[in-house]
Amino acid sequence: MSLLFLQHYWCFIVALLGALLVFLLFVQGANSMAGSLGQTEGGRRLVYNSTGRKWELTFTTLVTFGGAFFASYPLFYSTSFGGAYWLWMLILFTFVLQAVSYEFQNKIGNLVGPRIFQFFLTLNGILGPLLLGGAVATFFEGSNFFVEKNNLVDGTSLTPVISRWANASHGLDALLCPWVLVLGFAVVFLARVLGALYVMNNIDDEGIRTRGRGRLLGAAVPFVVLFVTYLVHILLKDGYAYDDEGVIFMEPNKYLHNFIEMWYLSVILLIGVVLVLYGIIRTILSKNYFGGIWPAGIGTVLTVLALLLCTAWNHTAYYPSTADLQSSLTMANSSSSEFTLRTMFYVSLLVPFVLAYIAYAWRALDRKKITREEIEKGAHVY
Amino acid sequence: MIHFLSIDPAAIDWARAQFALTAIYHWLFVPLTLGVGLIMSIMETKYYRTGDTFWRTTAQFWQRLFGINFAMGVATGIILEFEFGTNWSNYSWFVGDIFGAPLAIEGIVAFFMESTFVAVMYFGWEKVSRGFHLASTWLTTLGATISAWWILVANSWMQYPVGCEFNPDTLRNEMTSFLDVALSPFAVDKFFHTVISSWVVGAVFVVAVSAWYLLKKREAEREMAFKSLRIGAIVGLIASVGAAITGDESAYKIAEVQPMKLAAMEALYNGGNEQDLTAVALLNPFSQPNYAEEEEAPMRLAIPYGLSILATRSIDGFVPGVNDILKGYTRADGRVEPSAKEKIERGKKAIAALADYRKYIADEKAADGSDSIGKITAAKEERLQVLKENWQYFGYGYIKDEAELVPFIPINFWAFRVMVGLGSLFILFFAYILFLGWRKRDIASMTWLLWMAIILLPCAYICSESGWLVAEFGRQPWTIQDMLPVSASVSDIGSSAVALTFWLFLLLFTSMLVVEISIMLKQIKKGIN
């Protein structure tokens, strides 16, 4: 295994975790419309109890995504988290609020009442996907930062910091870029599409399933419009490429070239998009079909995986700097050492085993769909 | 080269304060997860083996309390991981090659196990078999414990960096032995001491809640309280003795690799052979003592030879004090420890040699376009030689004043005494409860004992947090012992931004804690029904 192979491999693992995270945002999507899906307090509780059995998976995937990125591409971890401080802090805040909201909302002794925690779940349901989608968009659009490793040995500075954000907004500037918002909102609506499909599959309730179909249509139309717009945008835009010497330069239609040169990514993307559309359309058209979360979920993973790999493979700078082109991060200049990547390669062989037990436990819990009766009598309900 | 503005020193303090705040809050919830996790798993095992529904109800009761606490642990935990990047970005780059690995493994191996099976534990009672449910409960506890392993491996590496080498071409430390990192003796000790002491917190919690039911003479919970108290006391006694043994071993390791931390824990200004152990002294808890001038801490009561035995395992072993470490001393094995002044000078030499090496490579590349990274030439070797000779003290090159090298002694001194004092009290307490049980005495009628059990609950938290204060404050000014000080680890974020997030986190965590305690108390009051 060469360093080059390992860098590609770890890029794949991180992208896969990112893709799984986007799929698991169905938790946020369903929470963002729990009110309209559930309508009554009882209906809302059904939705929260349904997503409440999966939220920790989303959360854990986010944490593992961060950990895997740290281990394999520490310069990204250092540059992006330390630079885009406010963007990441906002993401963290919403996820922290979500983490306690399930357990606390309907417990006796909750001094502040259930509404505030339901508000937190809605807030996380919208802001979480928006900001995470926005963060992914910066992989295409670029961010405003400098990296200068030699500062570590610059005797004149008080603190030898190797990277800094080039403006005082520390990451919030990304939200001023309209394309970042386009992808951000595309992810918000995708999360809502997946959320509607998930609760329709997971909850055995006529009312929720009927309303879910309506919500699904309402989310699918803006999602498709925004997603197609963004896809066309990245195919037409200039991209950040680097040569064998590691010198970064702008290449017209770089991402289009990537999809042509890495045709297999185009195939994955196409299959992904078709599966997502199939899951949506069949659910809308067929009154008795509730399994749309599976094709749409798998489709989401494939689509996001192809998009993320397109930002990094094929001599592409995955975290471009708009402040200083040569500060841009590439797989080659930001990865861990060969030794660490190889060691972590062996650890990553556990991933299929982890996925297998998650699938087994998920199946065991979801064999019986959630009903109102279960929520009334269950030993542990939210 | 792009020159950045130097960031203000207050930013370092705020970044430290924010990390300390998050870690202290996180550590309010983790010990209970580990401790109650073990006890509820034992209870469910009893249900599995006997089929007695009493044990099912009991296990479910403790699992409800576990769940309330668990959510807070998860919420505060995510911030810690990301704060390495947000607030300590230089650190994340400088050692990310080594430090990132345990964090990633923690996610892949432990967090998924925890989060998958905790859902089965909560919701699976009517959906999966008894065996699968029991396995899920144990796997939840095991997942939390494995998670502790990896994060403590990461923390131990910061206390005692092993298995790595500095690469002057990438300007960072790189891992050379995964096993040295993952199975470092420091990590093994730290893991056992931390996890076992967390079982003490869990045991005190179970005993305190049970005692409250007995005090209130709650008939519905009487049997549960008695049996839980018994299991809690057994786990508590074994764990508190275990914590003392592993703690002793930890102190021995600290003496070996972090002598300044030990000197601060002991407020030992001037060391020597046949060193006695300070039991207590009237050390001002709020200001750094004048260690350079004073002979020893005021009104000191000491145990003869105690510190020499603790630190060197021999009666006459030499234990260095703060001033010895600053002035330089000879170790028991004959190695000479240079003075702080010399270390700082050699650190500066190492940094200058590295800068020279980087410049040479850059000039060479600019002149003929060749990239000699990875290739060995005589000119490069010459520069690297100076770096190698002084590399050991590289981190000292960032130290401006040798007073920075002395951690804040009062916190270390008092936190260590609180930890050891309370830990010893727990041994006596659990032993006494079990003794009373053995003599068939009616504990329910011993009001003072029941009250004491309740009073000891906050003490268990104070004891546990004190352990962390010693571990982390004692390492100052280092993020990574002797390798990278906090001033060279921090992100380039203005102090006002970090101060703002500090206050936001404080407000958020405190509000969440108030709600959590309120819910916990109501759940306890509600009882098993």
In angstroms, the separation between the Cα of residue A233 and the nearest Cα of chain B is 31
* Beta-carbon contacts of residue A78 (< 8 Å; ≥ 6 apart): A162, A163, B85, B89, B90, B92, B93, B96
The reply to whether omega before B477 is within 30° of 0 (cis) is: yes
**Diameter of chain A measured on Cα atoms:** 71
**How far is B258 from B268, CA to CA, in rounded Å?**
14
pLDDT score, position B377 = 76
Whether residue B3 has pLDDT greater than 80: no
Beta carbons of B492 and A82 less than 8 Å apart: yes
Report the share of chain A in percent with pLDDT over 70.
Answer: 99
Beta carbons of B519 and A110 less than 8 Å apart: yes
**A157 touching B, CB under 8 A?**
yes
Q: Give the residue-averaged pLDDT of A296-324.
A: 96
pLDDT score, position B175 = 95
Whether residue B4 has pLDDT greater than 80: no
Beta carbons of B491 and A339 less than 8 Å apart: no
Q: pLDDT confidence of A380, banded at 50, 70, 90?
A: confident
Q: pLDDT confidence of B2, banded at 50, 70, 90?
A: low
**Which of the residues B112, B134, B348, B512 would you substitute to probe the A interface, choosing the one with the greatest number of A C-beta atoms within 10 Å?**
B112
A 54-73 residues with CB below 8 A of B? 54, 56-57, 59-60, 62-64, 66-68, 70-72
**How far is A166 from B205, CA to CA, in rounded Å?**
50
**Shortest CA distance to A88 belongs to which of A120, A111, A65, A106?**
A65
Q: pLDDT confidence of B371, banded at 50, 70, 90?
A: low
Beta carbons of A109 and B4 less than 8 Å apart: no
Tokens at A271, concatenated: 């299959």
For chain B, give the mean pLDDT: 92
A 280-309 residues with CB below 8 A of B? none
Beta carbons of B63 and A54 less than 8 Å apart: no
SS3 call for B425: helix
In angstroms, the separation between the Cα of residue B266 and the nearest Cα of chain A is 31
DSSP B394: G
**A349 touching B, CB under 8 A?**
no
Name which of A2-11, B323-332, B373-382 the model is least confident about.
B373-382
Contacts of B92 in chain A (CB under 8 A): 70, 74, 77-78, 81-82
Whether residue A113 has pLDDT greater than 90: no
Beta carbons of B1 and A154 less than 8 Å apart: yes
Q: What is the pLDDT of residues B407-454, one digit of tens each?
A: 999 999 999 999 999 999 999 999 999 999 998 888 989 999 999 999
A&B contacts, CB < 8 Å = 318
pLDDT score, position A137 = 96
Beta carbons of B87 and A95 less than 8 Å apart: no
The ipTM, to two decimals, is 0.91
Q: What is the pLDDT of residues A49-73, one digit of tens each?
A: 999 999 999 999 999 999 999 999 9
Cβ-nearest to A358 among B106, B112, B488: B112
**A249 touching B, CB under 8 A?**
no
Report the share of chain B in percent with pLDDT over 90.
Answer: 83
Whether residue A334 has pLDDT greater than 80: yes
Q: Which is more confident, A374 or B225?
A: B225
Tokens at A45, concatenated: 């509780």
pLDDT score, position A157 = 62
Report the share of chain A in percent with pLDDT over 90.
Answer: 81
Contacts of B488 in chain A (CB under 8 A): 152, 159-160
In sequence order, which ranges of B290-394 are alpha helices (DSSP H)? 306-312, 322-327, 340-368, 378-390
Q: Give the residue-averaged pLDDT of B462-490.
A: 94
**B220-224: long-range contacts (C-beta < 8 A, 24 or more apart)?**
B220/B527, B220/B528, B220/B529, B221/B527, B221/B528, B222/B444, B223/B54, B224/B54, B224/B57, B224/B58, B224/B61, B224/B528
Chain B residue with CA closest to A377: the answer is B126
For chain A, give the mean pLDDT: 93
Which secondary-structure segment (H or E) carries B106? none
Q: Which is more confident, B379 or B205?
A: B205
Whether residue B378 has pLDDT greater than 70: yes
Q: pLDDT confidence of B360, banded at 50, 70, 90?
A: confident
* Beta-carbon contacts of residue A344 (< 8 Å; ≥ 6 apart): A10, A71, A72, A336, B101, B104, B105
Beta carbons of A66 and B85 less than 8 Å apart: yes
In chain A, domain spans: 3-377
**Shortest CA distance to B255 belongs to which of B179, B184, B323, B332?**
B332
DSSP-assigned states of every residue in A86-114: HHHHHHHHHHHHHHHHHHHHTSTT-TT-H
Q: What is the pLDDT of residues A194-211, one digit of tens each?
A: 999 999 999 999 999 999
Beta carbons of A107 and B519 less than 8 Å apart: yes
Q: What is the pLDDT of residues B172-226, one digit of tens each?
A: 999 999 999 999 999 999 999 999 999 999 999 999 999 999 999 999 999 999 9
Check: CB of residue A122 under 8 Å from CB of residue A116. Answer: no
Name which of A108-117, A291-300, B321-330, B423-432 the model is least confident about.
A108-117
Contacts of A352 in chain B (CB under 8 A): none
Contacts of A152 in chain B (CB under 8 A): 90, 94, 171, 354, 488
Beta carbons of A100 and B119 less than 8 Å apart: no
pLDDT score, position B306 = 94
Beta carbons of B63 and A380 less than 8 Å apart: yes
Q: pLDDT confidence of B372, banded at 50, 70, 90?
A: low
In angstroms, the separation between the Cα of residue A141 and the nearest Cα of chain B is 21
A 94-123 residues with CB below 8 A of B? 95-97, 99-100, 102-104, 107-112
Beta carbons of A380 and B351 less than 8 Å apart: no
